[in-house]
Amino acid sequence: MSRAPNQHGPLVDLGNERPQVPARARNLSPIVPRASIAGRALVAVVAIMTFLASITTGTVLLVSASAAEWQSEVASEITIQVRPTAGRDLDRDAAAVTAAMRAQPGIIEVRPFTKDESAKLLEPWLGSGLVLDDLPVPRVIVARVQPGTALDLAALRRAVTLVAPTASVDDHRAWIERMRSMTGATVFAGIGILALVIVATIISVSFATRGAMAANRPIVEVLHFVGAGDRYIANRFLRHFLRLGLEGGLIGGGIAMLAFGFSESIAGWFSGTPVGDQFAALLGTFSLRPSGYLALAAQALLIAAITAWASRRTLFATLDDID
Amino acid sequence: MVRFENVGLRYGLGPEILRDLSFQIPAHSFQFLTGPSGAGKTSLLRLLFLSLRPTRGLVNLFGHDVSLLGKDAVADLRKRIGIVLQDFRLLDHMTTYENVALPFRVMGREESSYRKEVIDLLKWVGLGERMDALPPILSGGEKQRAAIARAVISRPQLLLADEPTGNVDPTLGRRLLRLFIELNKSGTAVIIATHDITLMDQYEARRFVLHQGRLHIYE
């Protein structure tokens, strides 16, 4: 026998007492009052977590972009060192190597460093006013490679050493490898921080959900009395937590995006200082690409979704305890 | 509709407070449940409402063995049961009207579809002027009437009431009993747990008497 509420007549007959029923619809109170959930603290926690996650992701994106830029610049150059040795004319060897390099296919520019330029390179170590004639300083020749060209490095080495036996060719492979591992380490550290932030968010949200459920236990019990299932009850709470998560994500992610938006100006304030210069060298112009901002927005949404998911998980576990 | 066979109940490792209960509650029936304080009336009502599971024995409700029911099935069965508890259990942030309409809301019905029914019932139980009041400012009797109205509004197949007239004057008590009788006539099985002999004397019905954990039935 199932209940069909509308198939009966009125439950009570009021006769002359029958009231005039107002036609207006009533604004029903929410089943779970918004004020009963410690929302502000949770919004603050989610906002802080989203901000930290966004700063981490943004920094990782900046480092990766800068590293990719350096790598492409470095990879498109080859440096030849011609070392002085007894019985050989260094200037002539350098000119011969320059000529040999120019003859190589795929080389678009060859630039031998002059003595003054070489002195400039050594200035940080040996001081200014250097007279290179007194020192056995090798000569440096920089060659630019046509982008996309696969150079036969062994043939190039053979050609160079044929004209200058003391010359060595460096394609910066070791440097690129170090750069790659540094970028990898930065990305790895960033992912680690992101994982910690997400775990901390889940724990905070779980505690907040448990607190809200404890505060609203009488409501949950009454809802059980009137036949509400766990899914119905959980959904009443879930919409609050999803809203709190979105609010927190929006605030944290928004502030982080603004921070990256203004970072160029901020970097400008520090330019000329040692710290500013180091950061500029490491991160370039500090400006995030549009895809970076999209990634930050997606991350804020992800954290809001994680908030809702953690809340839902805790809700069902707590509902099991209450019943 | 309800069948108990050799049902026993104990809390934790304590003594058995309900022993060897065997009875049936047919559809459309009306019964009073009485007995001294602490005899286990509320525990029996909670067993009937599925908020307690028996320690032993068989409880069959609406044709279902309750020991085999999952949470969702229990929630579905509870929609067919109305309950009035001694502590009323009204939601303080909702008006009297909203509290009484709660079962309809949980069913997902539109407010316009039940508004008239809820207002009529609130008038009947004497809360017509209090439908927009919040429970904290209602008197004990008013809360009790609101709790009764919430339990009966959706015309459950089984109504369980724990001391439903404990906080109201005799005149209103008679009026509430009439409500339960009307509900019973429209098809609901009613079980009223009460100490009030005057109330029981007003209506000829089966009496369940709990004494020292055992049930005695007087037809």
Q: Which of A14, A26, A225 sits opposite B89 (nearest CB)?
A: A225
- The answer to whether the Cβ–Cβ distance between A227 and B62 falls below 8 Å is no
A282 interfacial to chain B (CB closer than 8 Å): no
A69-99 pLDDT, tens digit each: 777 766 678 888 888 888 888 888 888 888 8
Percentage of residues in chain B having pLDDT higher than 90: 57
Nearest chain B residue to A319, by CA: B71
When pLDDT is averaged across residues B134-151 and rounded to a whole number, the result is 91
Phi, then psi, of A21 in degrees rounded to 5? -80, 125
- The answer to whether the Cβ–Cβ distance between B115 and A19 falls below 8 Å is no
**Residue whose token pair is 């036996």:** A165
When pLDDT is averaged across residues A282-290 and rounded to a whole number, the result is 70
B146-203 pLDDT, tens digit each: 999 999 898 899 999 998 888 778 888 888 888 889 889 988 999 999 988 888 999 9
* pLDDT for A198 beyond 90: no
A280 interfacial to chain B (CB closer than 8 Å): no
A1 interfacial to chain B (CB closer than 8 Å): yes
A7 confidence band (pLDDT: 50, 70, 90)? very low
**Mean per-residue pLDDT over chain B, rounded:** 90
Interfacial B residues in 26-55 facing A (CB < 8 Å): 27, 49, 51
B57 confidence band (pLDDT: 50, 70, 90)? very high
Q: 3-state class of B193 per DSSP? A: strand
> What are the strands, taking DSSP E only, across A73-138?
77-82, 107-112
d(CA B56, CA B210): 18
d(CA A19, CA B119): 8
Which chain B residues are Cβ-neighbours of A320 within 8 angstroms?
Answer: 71
What one-character DSSP code corresponds to residue A31? S
CA angle, residues A194, A198, A204, in degrees to nearest 5: 145
d(CA A41, CA A247): 12
A222 interfacial to chain B (CB closer than 8 Å): yes
CA distance B106 to chain A (A): 6
CA distance B1 to chain A (A): 9
Pairs across A and B, CB distance < 8 A: 120
Please tell me the least confidently modeled range out of A130-139, A279-288, B15-24: A279-288
Please tell me the least confidently modeled range out of A235-239, A283-287, B86-90, B203-207: A283-287
* pLDDT for A149 beyond 80: no
Q: What is the pLDDT of residue A5?
A: 43
A218 interfacial to chain B (CB closer than 8 Å): yes
A15-32 pLDDT, tens digit each: 554 444 454 556 788 888
A180 interfacial to chain B (CB closer than 8 Å): no
- The answer to whether the Cβ–Cβ distance between B186 and A8 falls below 8 Å is yes
Q: Check: CB of residue B80 under 8 Å from CB of residue B151.
A: no
Please tell me the least confidently modeled range out of A120-129, A249-258, B7-16, B61-70: A120-129
Residue boundaries of the structural domains of chain A: 36-71+177-322, 84-165
Nearest to A43 by CA among A244, A197, A205: A244
A36 confidence band (pLDDT: 50, 70, 90)? low
B75 interfacial to chain A (CB closer than 8 Å): yes
A37-69 pLDDT, tens digit each: 666 777 888 899 889 889 888 888 888 887 777
d(CA B172, CA A50): 59
Rg from Cα positions in chain A: 35
* pLDDT for B79 beyond 60: yes
Nearest to B17 by CA among B35, B50, B40, B47: B40
Residue boundaries of the structural domains of chain B: 2-218
CA distance A281 to chain B (A): 60
d(CA B126, CA B124): 5
Query: For residue B164, which amino acid is it?
Result: P
d(CA B25, CA A281): 85
Cβ neighbours of residue A251 closer than 8 Å, sequence gap 6 or more = A43, A47, A50
- The answer to whether the Cβ–Cβ distance between B106 and A226 falls below 8 Å is yes
d(CA A2, CA B41): 27
Q: Check: CB of residue B165 under 8 Å from CB of residue B199.
A: yes
A19 interfacial to chain B (CB closer than 8 Å): yes
- DSSP letters of B21-41? EEEEE-TT-EEEEE-STTSSH
* pLDDT for A160 beyond 60: yes
pTM (two decimals) = 0.67
- The answer to whether the Cβ–Cβ distance between B155 and A232 falls below 8 Å is no
Long-range contacts of residues A144-151, Cβ cutoff 8 Å, at least 24 apart: A144/A76, A144/A77, A144/A107, A144/A108, A144/A109, A144/A110, A144/A111, A145/A76, A145/A77, A145/A78, A145/A106, A145/A107, A145/A108, A146/A106, A146/A107, A146/A108, A147/A72, A147/A76, A149/A105, A149/A106, A150/A106, A151/A78, A151/A104, A151/A106
A235 confidence band (pLDDT: 50, 70, 90)? confident
Interfacial A residues in 26-85 facing B (CB < 8 Å): 26, 28-29, 31, 33, 36
Which chain A residues are Cβ-neighbours of B78 within 8 angstroms?
Answer: 224-227
Q: Strands of A77-82's sheet, edge to edge?
A: A107-112, A139-145, A77-82, A167-170
Alpha-carbon A81 to chain mean position: 39
Please tell me the least confidently modeled range out of A128-137, A147-156, B22-31, B123-132: A128-137
Nearest to B53 by CA among B28, B87, B18, B82: B18
Strand B30-34 vs strand B189-193: parallel, antiparallel, or unpaired? parallel
* pLDDT for A10 beyond 60: no
Interfacial B residues in 98-157 facing A (CB < 8 Å): 98, 101-107, 109, 111-117, 119-121, 123-124, 128, 150, 152-157
Which chain B residues are Cβ-neighbours of A231 within 8 angstroms?
Answer: 72
- The answer to whether the Cβ–Cβ distance between A11 and B83 falls below 8 Å is no
Task: Name the residue with higher pLDDT: A229 or A279.
Answer: A229
The CB-side HSE value for B165 (13 A sphere, CA atoms) comes to 23
Which chain B residues are Cβ-neighbours of A223 within 8 angstroms?
Answer: 102, 106
Which CATH code for domain B2-218?
3.40.50.300
Phi, then psi, of B98 in degrees rounded to 5? -65, -35
Residue A132 falls in which region: left (phi positive, over 0), alpha (psi -120 to 50) or beta: alpha
